[in-house]
Chain A
Amino acid sequence: MSPTNPIEIFKQEAQELLAQLEATLLDLDCTPDDPDLIDAAFRALHTIKGSGAMFGFEAAAAFTHHVETVFDQIRQGKARLTRDLIAVALRARDHMRLLIERPEKADPAAEEALLAALHDSLSPGEAVPVVPCEAAGERVWRVSMRLPRDAMINGTNPLLLVDELRSLGESIVTPVTDTIPRLQEIDPSACYMAWEITLKTSKPRSEIEDVFIFVRDEMELEIALAETSCEDAQGKPDAQEPTPSGPAEETLSEREPPEAPAPQGEADAHATPAEQQRVRRETTKNHASIRVPADRLDELMDRVGELVITQSRLKQIAASSSDQQVRAVAEEIERLALELRDTTMGIRMVPIGSLFGRFRRVVHDLSRDLGKEVELIMEGEETELDKTVVEQLNDPLVHLIRNSIDHGIEKPADRIASGKAPAGQITLSARHAGTEVHITIIDDGRGLNRDRIRARAIERGLISADGALSDAELFQVVFLPGFSTVSEVTNLSGRGVGMDVVKRTIEALRGRIELSSMPNRGAKVTLRLPLTLAIIDGLLVRVGDARYVLPLAAIEECVELPADDKGGSRGCSFLNIRGELVPFLRLRELFAAKTPPDRYQKVVVVAAGDLKAGLVVDQVIGNHQTVIKSLSKLHAGIEMFSGATILGDGAVALILDIPHLVQFGQIAEEQLRAAA
C-alpha cells in the first residue's frame, strides 16, 4: 500500500461503509423486520461514528450518533422501522456523506430538519413491548464462544470480551483448551482457546449479544438459557435442553449467523450446509483481497502494453534469426507476456453489479417522488467489464433509468386503466456478446410517443414532413442536443439535455446505443460496449501499402474473393457465402490506396451483432496482440477507426471499427437494393 494520508483512507472506508449502509437500507425497505439487516446498518453507523471521531470528522460523528441511536432503539425492539423512517435514513446517509466529503457544503438547517424527521418517524407508541421476564429477575445464561484463529492478529482481544461479559453479572468462566496443539506446532499469534461462561444476569439477551457485535460474523457463539427465575412466563424450559419456545428464543435462532453451530437440532435446520459454505467463502474472499489505488492498475496496464509491443518486436527479430535458442526464448517470452496480459486485464475487470447496486437508490427515490410504483429487476450483475468502462457508465445509466421512470412508467391508476399491473417494471440487464457487452434497460411503460417525436422533429426542422422514416431512424433524433417532446419541464427531465450526453459518453467508450419501443408495451435501450479498452487479439491485414488491425473476436472467417468479382461493381457488392448474401466493402477504395491491388484479394467476413459484412483486403498477415491506443482529438471523429496500435517494427497501424464499417456496408446495401 502506498503511504497515503490516513484521512484519505478514512474517506475511502467511509465511502464503502456508506455504500453498504445504503444497500442495507434498501434491503430493509423490502424486509423491514430482518434483524440481521438492522444489525448490519447499526454496525456500519457505529463504525462511521467511531472512525469519524478518530480522524477529526466531529460533525459527521455527531450527526451519525443520532442516526445510530435510532437504529439502536430499533435493534432493541423499542421502535419500529417504517418505510418513512428508511427514506429519512437514506437522506441522512447522504448528509453523512456530505459531512465527510465536503463538510463546507453541508447545510445545518437541513441537518436540523433531518434530525427532526428522524425523531418524528420514531413512533414510540408502536414500540414492541420488551419481553417482561427479560426485564424482570435474573436468569442464568450459558455462553459458549470460540473466536477465529486469526482473531488476535486482527486486533481482537478475547480477554476483553470475557471481561465485558463478566461485567454484566456474576459469572463463572471456563476455558476450553482441547484444541490447543502441541507446543512445537503453536503459532503464538493464533487464538486456540474457547470459553464457556455461565452468566447470571438481569440484562436481556441482546446485551450479551452486544458484547460480540463486532466479531459476531467471524466467530462461533452460542447463547443459551441455562435456567430461568421466571419459568412460568417462559413455559417450562429445561435447564439442560433449552427448547426454542418463547419469543426470546425465536429471536435468537433468527439472529444466529448461519455458520454458528446452534445449540440444538431444531436451530441447526436454520443453517443449511450450502449457506454455511457461502458465508465461509465470502469471509475468505474478504481476507484475500487488498486495496490498490486505481491509477496503479492503469500504470500496470501501460507497462504490460509496452511489454507486448516489445515482445512482438522480439518475435519478429527471432523469426528471421536462425538461432534456435533465441527462437525458444522468444516463444517463452511470448507465452509469458500473454499470460501477464490476461492476468492484468483480469484485475481490471469488475462485475457490473457494483454499478447496478447504486441504481436501486435512484429507483427508490424517484418512484417515491413521482408517486409511481417501480420494481427494479437486475440481471447479469456478474458480467465483468473493464473498470474504466464501468466508471463512466454511471451517469448515462442513471439518466436512462430516470427517463424510463419519468416518461415511460405510468402512474398506478393509468397502468390499471390500460390493463397492466399497478407496479411498473424496469429490467436492467447485462450480458456478453462476442467482443461486446450489451446492457439493456427495458421498461414496461407507455413506450416512446412516435407521433409526438415526429411532430417535434418536423417542427424543429430536423426531418422533412413528407419523408418516410423507420422507427430506428426516427428515434435517432432523440439523441440530438436540445431535443425534447415534453412540454412541461420537471426537475428530472424534459429539458432536452441528456440523451445527447448519454450518446456522446457511450460513443467515447467506443460503444453504441440503440433504442426501440412498442406503443403501450414499453421501451428498450441497448448499450453495446466493447469488452475492454486496453488490449485485444487482432488480425493484421494489409490494404495497399498500409497495415490495419481487425479485432479478432469480430471475425467470422476469411475467404478468397472470387475472380469474377474483381472487376465488378465498385465500392460494395455482394458475396455468396454458403447461400447467405453478405455485402462487402473494398477497403482499397475506402482508404484510397494507390498501389496496384494484389492478384488474390481476400475477404474477411466480420460480424457486428446480427449483421455481417465482408471487408476486401490485399493480404491477411496474421494474428497480432493489439495494444489499443486511443486516437487524439485530431482524429477521434473518423468513425472508421476505433484506435491505433504499434506494430512489431514500430510502425503505427489503425484499428478498424467493425460495427461502424458493418453499418456502412448495410447502408450501402440498402441503397443498392433501393436502386435496383
Chain B
Amino acid sequence: MSNWDHIQSSASAAGALKVLSLSLDGQLFAIDAGCVREILDLIPVTEVPASSPFASGLINVRGKVVPLADLRHKLGMTKRSPTIDTRIVVIEVDLDGDLTTVGIIADKVHEVTDIPQSGIEATPRIGLAWPPEFIRCLGKRSGDFLIVLDITRIFSGEQSRQDPSSFQAVDRNCC
C-alpha cells in the first residue's frame, strides 16, 4: 500500500484527516486520532531495568500493564524531565501483527483537529530534522504545519531486545 492510499483509508468522510496534535521537545507533531484510546495525566512509571531507552517503563492503565514509550528517543530529541503539561497518550499500535496498547509521552497535548484533504502534503525528501521514514505526511493548518507521525513505522522492528550493554556491564561486574 502506498503512502497515499494509507492516508486516504483513514481519512474521514469529508476527506479530512483527524489528528491529535501534541508537542515533543517544543516541536508540534500530530498522530492519527483513530489510534488514540485515552489521554492520562502523568502517573507513576515503573522503570524496567535493562530495557531499551525507547520503551523503558511500564504503567498501569485501568488494571492493564502497558509499556510506556518515548517517541523523543526515536526522533533523536533530548529527554526532558516532566512538567505540569506532560501527558501520557494511550494508543493502540500494530506491533508486528499484534494490536498492542502502548502509552507515549507527550510534553503537551493540544487538540484533536481535522486536516482538510487539500492541506495534506507528502513528506519532503529533504529538509526535515527527523528520520523521514517516521513521518507519514505534513498537514497544513491555518498557516502552520503539523508533522503527522507514522506510529506503526516508529514501533515496527522495535522487538524487545535486551539492551546488551547493560547486561554485559553486569557480566563484567561479576568477574
Name A's B-contacting residues (CB within 8 A): 305-306, 309, 546, 570-572, 589-592, 629, 631-641, 644-646, 650-654, 668, 671-672, 675
CA of A572 to CA of B171, assembled, Å: 9
Assess the B67–A635 pair: CB atoms within 8 A. Answer: yes
CA of A640 to CA of B160, assembled, Å: 13
- A646-B65, A652-B59, A654-B48 are known contacts. Are A633 and B95 too (CB-CB below 8 A)? yes
CA of A574 to CA of B46, assembled, Å: 30
- A638-B48, A639-B162, A654-B46 are known contacts. Are A571 and B58 too (CB-CB below 8 A)? no
Assess the B48–A632 pair: CB atoms within 8 A. Answer: no
Assess the B44–A633 pair: CB atoms within 8 A. Answer: no
Stretch at the interface among B81-89, B96-104, B145-153: B96-104
Task: Judge whether B143 is part of the interface by a CB distance below 8 angstroms.
Answer: no
- Minimum Cβ distance to chain B for residue A643 (Å): 8
- A633-B95, A634-B67 are known contacts. Are A589 and B173 too (CB-CB below 8 A)? yes
Stretch at the interface among B7-15, B24-32, B33-41, B49-57: B49-57
Assess the A671–B60 pair: CB atoms within 8 A. Answer: no
Can you list 27 A-B pairs, Cβ within 8 angstroms, ordered by A? A306-B63, A570-B173, A571-B174, A589-B173, A590-B49, A590-B170, A592-B166, A632-B160, A633-B98, A634-B155, A634-B160, A635-B48, A635-B55, A635-B58, A637-B159, A637-B160, A637-B161, A638-B50, A639-B162, A644-B46, A644-B65, A646-B65, A650-B44, A652-B46, A652-B59, A652-B65, A668-B171
Assess the A571–B60 pair: CB atoms within 8 A. Answer: no
CA of A668 to CA of B65, assembled, Å: 32
Cβ 8 A contact of A640, one of B50, B98, B100, B173: B50
CA of A638 to CA of B170, assembled, Å: 14
Known: A572-B173, A644-B46. 16 other contacts (CB 8 A): A631-B58, A632-B102, A633-B95, A633-B159, A634-B67, A634-B155, A635-B51, A635-B160, A637-B162, A638-B48, A638-B51, A638-B160, A645-B65, A652-B58, A652-B65, A654-B58
Task: Judge whether B111 is part of the interface by a CB distance below 8 angstroms.
Answer: no
Task: Judge whether B69 is part of the interface by a CB distance below 8 angstroms.
Answer: yes
Which of B46, B51, B52, B162 has most A Cβ within 10 Å? B46
Assess the A634–B95 pair: CB atoms within 8 A. Answer: yes
Q: Count the A-B residue pairs with Cβ separation under 8 angstroms: how many? A: 101
Assess the A629–B175 pair: CB atoms within 8 A. Answer: no
CA of A672 to CA of B171, assembled, Å: 11
- Minimum Cβ distance to chain A for residue B96 (Å): 6
CA of A94 to CA of B31, assembled, Å: 51
Task: Judge whether B158 is part of the interface by a CB distance below 8 angstroms.
Answer: yes
Name B's A-contacting residues (CB within 8 A): 44, 46-52, 55, 58-60, 63-67, 69, 95-96, 98, 100, 102, 155, 158-162, 166, 170-171, 173-175
Assess the A632–B175 pair: CB atoms within 8 A. Answer: no
- Minimum Cβ distance to chain B for residue A584 (Å): 11
Assess the B170–A589 pair: CB atoms within 8 A. Answer: yes
- Minimum Cβ distance to chain B for residue A543 (Å): 9
| Chain A hits for B59, CB < 8 A | 652
- Minimum Cβ distance to chain A for residue B151 (Å): 13
| Chain A hits for B67, CB < 8 A | 631-632, 634-635
- Minimum Cβ distance to chain A for residue B153 (Å): 15
Which of B51, B59, B98, B155 has most A Cβ within 10 Å? B51
Specify the main secondary structure of chain A where it touches its partner. mixed
| Chain B hits for A309, CB < 8 A | 63
Specify the main secondary structure of chain B where it touches its partner. mixed
| Chain A hits for B64, CB < 8 A | 629
Beta-carbon nearest neighbor of A669 in chain B? B174
| Chain B hits for A589, CB < 8 A | 170, 173
| Chain B hits for A571, CB < 8 A | 170, 173-175
| Chain A hits for B58, CB < 8 A | 631, 635, 644, 652, 654
Beta-carbon nearest neighbor of B69 in chain A? A634
- 5 residue pairs, one from A and one from B, having the closest CB atoms: A637-B160, A571-B173, A571-B174, A591-B49, A668-B174
- Minimum Cβ distance to chain B for residue A491 (Å): 29
CA of A546 to CA of B46, assembled, Å: 7
Cβ 8 A contact of A634, one of B158, B166, B175: B158
Which of A589, A632, A637, A654 has most B Cβ within 10 Å? A632
CA of A639 to CA of B64, assembled, Å: 21
| Chain B hits for A635, CB < 8 A | 48, 51, 55, 58, 67, 160
CA of A640 to CA of B50, assembled, Å: 9
Which of A306, A570, A629, A634 has most B Cβ within 10 Å? A634
Which of B55, B63, B69 has most A Cβ within 10 Å? B63
Beta-carbon nearest neighbor of B58 in chain A? A652
Beta-carbon nearest neighbor of B45 in chain A? A652
Cβ 8 A contact of A546, one of B47, B50, B175: B47
Assess the A653–B46 pair: CB atoms within 8 A. Answer: yes
| Chain A hits for B46, CB < 8 A | 546, 644, 651-654
| Chain B hits for A591, CB < 8 A | 49-50
| Chain B hits for A633, CB < 8 A | 95-96, 98, 100, 158-160
Beta-carbon nearest neighbor of A570 in chain B? B173
Which of B47, B48, B96 has most A Cβ within 10 Å? B48
Assess the A646–B51 pair: CB atoms within 8 A. Answer: no
- A640-B50, A641-B48 are known contacts. Are A671 and B174 too (CB-CB below 8 A)? yes
- A309-B63, A644-B65 are known contacts. Are A632 and B174 too (CB-CB below 8 A)? no
- A633-B95, A633-B100, A634-B158 are known contacts. Are A646 and B50 too (CB-CB below 8 A)? no
Beta-carbon nearest neighbor of A302 in chain B? B63
Cβ 8 A contact of A646, one of B63, B102, B158, B173: B63
Assess the A631–B174 pair: CB atoms within 8 A. Answer: no
- A632-B102, A635-B55, A635-B160 are known contacts. Are A651 and B44 too (CB-CB below 8 A)? yes
Cβ 8 A contact of B60, one of A632, A640, A646: A646
